[in-house]
């Protein structure tokens, strides 16, 4: 019945024909009621949640204001078992919606979830009767449900439709703004392993050597790029050179010192933190943003994501690293602004909020600390799944839970 | 005709030339870098305010930021702990006549080419004086190394795991120039009047320590020293009049004959 | 209670007029057909998608009416049956003497898209983000499930479409003037598999209307009429069915036939709501013409043209006349009145005494919520 051709593997995109106009980005329907944004909030974190009645336990879908069984308004968003039965499927050959019109034919399925409701879902090409579902952010940044094969396979992410919603670095071109740090190097290696075509590796102060950095040049995908995010002219020139090709920008440039207010005289350190962590983001966004926005729908390897290395301290100030925390909070707010500006182009702004990374500036913090490799893997995973708010590691997960539960309590706990 | 009038006349006739000893201030120019846990001097950064556009239709201007010790710059005695209590030791209090002085240019470029850690010694100076004459008081001693020809910032900074490797004076040379030649100040082409590895001399950073301790000055990141004669040039080096300033970027000009 | 003055304002694909224009034409046609003055029509129901921002009340001032009974019935394909029920109760209770039930919509190039974009909260949150931009995907699922479960083939649906097209060629107001063969039906381009072009209605502009009044009054006015013998309605039935395979009629059909004192086998024709052919099959099953799941066998057994063994959608149904928005919910009712009053020129079912009209509509999320049916009889029944 379904006649869309089955893709065996991801075909390498051809070189772009410079004679043709670049297709402009369109978005799937973005309107949602406020209550439906509960699905989006969970999908942003990579969770599949539906409302469940606090009185009678019935799981609800579509999202609503009162229980469809007992009328209680005590509906709580809870993680649900993401499995179900594929009842029927269709292939759209016609759509009034510009986004889908440009991407026909498009597969959809009707799934009866084990937890109760029947849902309309985007359908992976390799599904069978039993499916796994996932709440994903679509190109408009809104949650949609995708039905995937119940068994994970190595090329599952290559599904044409799935790639429309994820930010998979495979066959894409990536800029890592600071390749010198442990995390930067781990990111570059992980991106190469994930199949990125080109990895530009930004680095500043070239006279300062760091172990392992030279090794990066041996990777065939890597091109070193002088990049100092405190230098507007440098950022502009780097963008002039490569912004028209960057599909994913990973801004991991960071200035981190371990001081609060009273234990460091003068504003110089805090200024430097702001200049890299906040103004650096602003400069990059101004210079790289326009080109990336124009390429949100540029063929198979389009501009898809902007990753910001923030910190769990962005939500709640960690006083021993107080000025650093403040700079990350500033960067977070600006990243939300960037997210709104990138949204019309379908470019996802991914904010990463790790707890302490196992590096020199966190030397005095007790474990658990995040190894750069682990953090890099977490970021790659977020790109592959299309998640936009990432809390990697135990500390980040715990602080997130505490902050959501009672932010004032966390503030007190951190100032103990 | 008095000397000044004669100078003016010769100058206008082109008989006296100006050599610009200053590096261009730009974000690319290498900046001094201290160990990460210390306070850092700002590199030169410049942000456009408007450029004949909606931010300012008929004009172009910028805001810039940098440290007092960014680019070609002047060190005042207050910059170092040994000079902190001397009178008239800041950029706004140094008597202005100290901003003009004859220059003695010591060509150490062959030695520096062979050894990045070359240290100028008293003997080197005495040998130079045998050829060019005695260094006069209240003058600049400029150590030419052709370091300014290293246009690649990596080569200019010249770091390895032990730190920076750039030429400079040794302890004895500095003490000699202060005590026995009463010079105005010491100038180099690299970042720092002291050698890159001067931390390991005793005392560390002897040029800063003894020059500023004696109320003398420093000039760094000079260029075009190869255009100056060994003697006879007159250098103008006036820092910005920053209140209690420890130094500033400045335009260093040399006047030479013909 | 009886129904009279069946009116169709001929459909056009696109109209620059507003819904008010179409509804005004329907109302004045009903006046002309019944020879009644404005003031003598003292009740009004209005059904329309494109009348916004106005509703029935705005229309009263627009048209210069002063009814003493008014209802706005936004139930899409179920509007005809429900309007009849409301109007009949009003006349029965004495709240109105003569009620005009009117439905109409305009169609601009962007009407369909705009109507769908704001159709319902559930559709906006849980269907449109998936790209169908309308009910096509939901009914594709339904059709696929039905085919899988009950062995229906595309030819079964095609048979209904081909027959209805033959019926439509005899209806002057229909948009479609060309016949349709099974080969053309099968070869048509896919829309949302397994739905192809001729499984989907064509949105257009148009209007339909009829009067509801007492039999006594109709006789006094010498109006040909059809009698209302029984009706049912039900909304959001079988909500826990994972896929819609049945709707309200299955719950209430026995009551319908009991009210009318007849059985399914007594019907001379049936007008189903046919936004997609599979829904016609569902109605035939739920209304007792065959058992659940026996739809395909039923279709293969019968002929559905006006002169066939089972006359169905004798003016062509929406699939062959066009869907003029809410007027689609009236199309079957108006045609039934014509059949029962001998006014169905060129497609008159012989000796038509009893007819069943079914309504279905409002795809809020994944299924039609509204359903209803009415059994009408000729004045001689």
CA–CA distance, C328 with C319 (Å, rounded to integer): 10
Average pLDDT value over all residues in chain B: 96
What's the gap in Å between the CA of A94 and the closest CA on chain C?
Answer: 5
Token pair for A24: 């402009």
| Chain C contact set for A60 (CB, 8 A) | none
Give the confidence band of A4 by pLDDT, cuts at 50, 70, 90.
Answer: very low
User: What number of C-beta contacts closer than 8 Å exist between A and C?
Assistant: 121
- Looking at the fold, whether A145 and A231 belong to one and the same domain comes out as no
* pLDDT value of residue A154: 83
**In a domain? residue A30:** no
Give the confidence band of A304 by pLDDT, cuts at 50, 70, 90.
Answer: very high
Place of tokens 């180099």: B188
Find all residues with CB under 8 Å of C346, minimum gap 6, and list them: C170, C171
Kindly report, residue by residue over B214-254, the tens digit of the pLDDT.
Answer: 999 999 999 999 999 999 999 999 999 999 999 999 999 99
Q: Is A85 on the interface with B (CB under 8 A)?
A: no
Q: Is A381 on the interface with C (CB under 8 A)?
A: no
* pLDDT value of residue C115: 82
Instruction: Give the pTM.
Output: 0.89
Last residue of one domain, picked from the residues A139, A165, A191: A165
Place of tokens 């390498």: A12
Q: Is A208 on the interface with B (CB under 8 A)?
A: yes
Rounded average pLDDT over C82-111: 97
Rounded average pLDDT over A37-44: 97
* pLDDT value of residue A2: 46
Q: Is A165 on the interface with C (CB under 8 A)?
A: no
CA–CA distance, A388 with A409 (Å, rounded to integer): 26
Find all residues with CB under 8 Å of A38, minimum gap 6, and list them: A49, A51, A63, A77
- Looking at the fold, whether A211 and A97 belong to one and the same domain comes out as no
Whose CA is closest to A253, among A271, A234, A228, A236? Answer: A228
* pLDDT value of residue C381: 59
**In a domain? residue A32:** no
The structural domain count of chain A equals: 2
Q: Is A33 helix (H, G, I), strand (E, B) or coil?
A: coil
- Looking at the fold, whether A138 and A183 belong to one and the same domain comes out as no
What ipTM score was computed for the predicted complex, to two decimals? 0.90
- Looking at the fold, whether A139 and A183 belong to one and the same domain comes out as no
In contact, A258 and A324? CB cutoff 8 Å: yes
Q: Does the beta-carbon distance from A233 to B40 stay under 8 Å?
A: no
Give the confidence band of A15 by pLDDT, cuts at 50, 70, 90.
Answer: confident
Intra-chain end-to-end CA distance of chain A, in Å: 64
CA–CA distance, A333 with A314 (Å, rounded to integer): 9
Tell me how far CA of residue B138 lies from CA of B75, B97, B141, B256, C14, in angstroms.
16, 10, 10, 18, 97
Find all residues with CB under 8 Å of A394, minimum gap 6, and list them: A355, A368
Closest residue in A to C148 (Cα) is A88
> Residue B88, by phi and psi: left (phi above 0), alpha (psi -120 to 50) or beta?
left
Whose CA is closest to A228, among A283, A285, A152? Answer: A283
Is B124 noted as a catalytic residue in this protein?
no
Whose CA is closest to C330, among C39, C23, C57, C62? Answer: C23
Q: Residue A396 maps to which CATH number?
A: 3.40.50.720
Between chain B and chain C, are at least 3 CB pairs below 8 A? no
Of B69, B79, B124, B212, which one is the catalytic site residue?
A: B79
Is the pLDDT assigned to residue A1 strictly greater than 70? no
- Where do the domains of chain C lie? 2-110+205-220, 135-200+224-378
Strands A118-123 and A173-176, bridge-based pairing: unpaired
- Looking at the fold, whether A297 and A161 belong to one and the same domain comes out as no
Kindly report, residue by residue over A319-376, the tens digit of the pLDDT.
Answer: 999 999 999 999 999 999 999 999 999 999 999 999 999 998 999 999 999 999 999 9
Kindly report, residue by residue over A208-257, the tens digit of the pLDDT.
Answer: 888 888 889 999 999 999 999 999 999 999 999 999 999 999 999 999 99
- Looking at the fold, whether A318 and A406 belong to one and the same domain comes out as yes
Token pair for A187: 């990111």
When CB atoms are compared, the residue of C113, C122, C190 closest to A93 is C190
Place of tokens 């030339």: B17
What does the DSSP assignment read for A99-154? HHHTT-SEEEEEEEETTS-EEEEEE-TT--SEEEEEEEE-TTS-EEEEEEESS--T
Q: E strands of A259-368, at which residues?
A: 305-309, 348-352
- Looking at the fold, whether A187 and A113 belong to one and the same domain comes out as no
Q: Which domains does chain B have, with CATH numbers?
A: 12-39+68-257 (3.50.30.50)
Which residues form the domain of A68?
A: 37-165
Q: Tell me if C2-110+205-220 shares its fold with C135-200+224-378.
A: yes
| Chain C contact set for A3 (CB, 8 A) | 190, 193
In contact, C200 and C322? CB cutoff 8 Å: no
Rounded to 5 degrees, what are φ and ψ at A75? Answer: -105, 125
Q: Does the beta-carbon distance from B43 to A230 stay under 8 Å?
A: yes
**In a domain? residue A317:** yes
- Looking at the fold, whether A287 and A380 belong to one and the same domain comes out as yes
One of 3.65.10.10, 3.40.47.10, 3.40.50.1820, 3.40.50.1980 is the CATH number of C135-200+224-378, namely 3.40.47.10
Average pLDDT value over all residues in chain C: 96
- Looking at the fold, whether A210 and A160 belong to one and the same domain comes out as no
Domain C2-110+205-220 bears CATH identifier 3.40.50.720: no
Our CA dihedral for C244, C248, C251, C256, rounded to 10 degrees, sits at -140
* pLDDT value of residue A7: 46
* pLDDT value of residue A9: 59
What's the gap in Å between the CA of C130 and the closest CA on chain A?
Answer: 7
Other Cβ atoms within 10 Å of A34 Cβ, number? 8
Q: Is A106 on the interface with C (CB under 8 A)?
A: yes
Is the pLDDT assigned to residue A8 strictly greater than 80? no
**In a domain? residue A340:** yes
**In a domain? residue A18:** no
**In a domain? residue A69:** yes
């Amino acid at each position: 019945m379904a006649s869309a051709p089955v893709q065996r593997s991801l075909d390498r995109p051809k070189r772009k024909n410079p004679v043709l106009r670049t297709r402009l980005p369109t978005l799937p329907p973005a309107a949602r009621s406020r209550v439906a944004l509960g699905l989006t909030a969970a999908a942003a974190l990579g969770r599949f949640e539906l409302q469940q009645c606090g009185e009678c336990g019935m799981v609800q879908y579509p999202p609503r204001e009162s229980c469809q069984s007992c009328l209680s308004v005590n509906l709580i968003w809870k993680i649900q078992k993401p499995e179900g039965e594929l009842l029927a499927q269709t292939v759209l050959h016609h759509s009034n919606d510009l986004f889908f019109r440009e991407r026909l034919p498009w597969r959809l399925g009707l799934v009866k979830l084990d937890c109760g409701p029947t849902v309309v879902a985007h359908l992976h090409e390799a599904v069978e009767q039993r499916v796994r579902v996932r709440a994903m952010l679509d190109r408009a940044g809104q949650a949609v449900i995708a039905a995937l094969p119940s068994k994970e396979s190595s090329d599952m992410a290559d599904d044409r439709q799935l790639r429309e919603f994820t930010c998979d670095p495979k066959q894409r071109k990536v800029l890592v703004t600071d390749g010198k740090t442990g995390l930067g190097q781990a990111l570059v290696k992980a991106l190469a392993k994930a199949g990125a075509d080109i990895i530009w590796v930004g680095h500043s102060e070239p006279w300062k050597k760091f172990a392992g950095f030279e090794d990066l040049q041996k990777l065939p995908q890597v091109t070193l790029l002088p990049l100092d995010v405190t230098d507007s002219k440098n950022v502009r020139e780097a963008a002039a050179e490569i912004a028209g090709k960057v599909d994913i920008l990973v801004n991991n440039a960071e200035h981190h010192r371990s001081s609060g207010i009273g234990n460091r005289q003068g504003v110089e350190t805090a200024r430097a933190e702001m200049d890299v962590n906040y103004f650096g983001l602003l400069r990059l966004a101004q210079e790289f943003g326009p080109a990336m926005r124009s390429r949100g729908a540029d063929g198979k390897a389009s501009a898809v994501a902007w990753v910001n290395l923030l910190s769990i301290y962005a939500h709640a100030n960690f006083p021993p690293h107080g000025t650093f925390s403040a700079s990350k909070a500033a960067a977070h707010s600006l990243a939300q602004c960037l997210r709104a500006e990138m949204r019309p182009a379908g470019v996802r702004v991914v904010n990463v909020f790790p707890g302490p990374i196992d590096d020199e500036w966190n030397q005095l913090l007790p474990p658990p600390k995040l190894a750069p490799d682990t953090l890099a893997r977490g970021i790659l995973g977020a790109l592959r799944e299309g998640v936009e708010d990432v809390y990697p590691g135990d500390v980040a997960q715990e602080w997130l839970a505490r902050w959501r539960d009672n932010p004032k309590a966390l503030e007190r706990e951190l100032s103990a | 005709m008095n000397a000044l009038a004669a100078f003016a006349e010769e100058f206008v006739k082109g008989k006296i030339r100006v050599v610009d000893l200053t590096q261009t201030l730009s974000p690319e120019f290498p900046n001094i870098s201290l160990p990460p846990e210390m306070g850092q001097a700002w590199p030169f950064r410049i942000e456009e305010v408007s450029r004949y556009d909606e931010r300012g239709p008929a004009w172009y201007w910028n805001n810039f930021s940098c440290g007092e010790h960014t680019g070609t710059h002047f060190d005042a005695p207050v910059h170092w702990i040994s000079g902190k209590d001397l009178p008239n030791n800041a950029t706004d209090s140094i008597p202005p006549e100290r901003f003009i002085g004859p220059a003695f240019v010591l060509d150490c470029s062959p030695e520096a080419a062979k050894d990045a850690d070359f240290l100028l010694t008293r003997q080197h100076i005495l040998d130079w004086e045998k050829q060019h004459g005695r260094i006069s008081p209240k003058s600049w001693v400029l150590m030419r190394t052709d370091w300014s020809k290293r246009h690649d910032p990596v080569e200019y900074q010249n770091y390895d795991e032990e730190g920076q490797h750039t030429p400079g004076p040794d302890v004895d040379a500095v003490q000699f120039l202060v005590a026995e030649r009463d010079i105005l100040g010491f100038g180099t082409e690299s970042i720092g009047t002291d050698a890159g590895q001067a931390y390991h001399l005793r005392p560390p950073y002897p040029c800063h320590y003894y020059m500023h301790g004696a109320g003398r000055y420093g000039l760094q990141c000079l260029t075009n020293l190869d255009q100056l004669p060994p003697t006879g040039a007159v250098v103008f080096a006036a820092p910005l009049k920053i209140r209690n300033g420890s130094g500033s970027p400045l335009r260093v000009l040399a006047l030479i004959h013909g | 209670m009886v129904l009279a003055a069946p009116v169709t304002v001929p459909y056009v694909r696109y109209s620059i007029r507003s819904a008010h224009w179409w509804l005004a034409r329907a109302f004045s046609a009903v006046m002309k057909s019944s020879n009644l003055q404005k003031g003598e029509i003292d009740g009004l129901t209005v059904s329309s998608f494109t009348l916004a921002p106005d509703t029935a009340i705005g229309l009263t001032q627009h048209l210069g009416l002063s009814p003493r009974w008014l209802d706005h019935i936004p139930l899409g394909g179920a509007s005809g049956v429900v309007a009849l029920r409301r109007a009949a109760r009003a006349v029965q209770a004495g709240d109105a003497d003569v009620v005009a039930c009117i439905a109409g919509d305009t169609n601009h190039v962007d009407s369909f898209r705009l109507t769908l974009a704001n159709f319902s909260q559930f559709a906006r949150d849980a269907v449109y983000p998936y790209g169908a931009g309308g009910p096509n995907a939901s009914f594709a699922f339904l059709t696929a499930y039905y085919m899988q479960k009950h062995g229906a083939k595309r030819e079964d649906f095609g048979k209904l479409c081909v027959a209805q097209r033959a019926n439509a060629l005899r209806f002057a107001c229909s948009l479609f003037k060309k016949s349709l063969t099974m080969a053309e039906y099968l070869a048509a381009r896919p829309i949302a598999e397994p739905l192809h072009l001729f499984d989907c209605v064509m949105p257009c502009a148009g209007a339909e209307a009829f009067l509801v009044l007492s039999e006594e009054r109709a006789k006094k006015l010498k109006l040909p009429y059809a009698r209302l013998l029984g009706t049912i309605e039900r909304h959001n039935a079988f909500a826990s069915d994972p896929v819609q395979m049945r709707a309200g009629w299955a719950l209430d059909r026995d009551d319908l036939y009991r009210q009318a004192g007849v059985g399914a086998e007594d019907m001379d024709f049936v007008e189903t709501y046919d936004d997609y052919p599979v829904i016609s099959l569902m109605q035939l099953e739920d209304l007792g013409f065959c058992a659940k799941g026996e739809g395909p066998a039923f279709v293969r057994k019968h002929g559905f043209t006006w002169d066939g063994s089972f006359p169905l959608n004798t003016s062509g149904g929406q699939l062959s006349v066009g869907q003029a928005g809410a007027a689609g919910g009236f199309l079957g009712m108006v045609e039934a009145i014509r059949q029962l009053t001998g006014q169905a020129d060129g497609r008159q079912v012989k000796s038509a005494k009893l007819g069943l009209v079914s309504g279905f509509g409002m795809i809020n999320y994944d299924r039609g919520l509204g359903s209803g049916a009415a059994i009408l009889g000729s004045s001689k029944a």
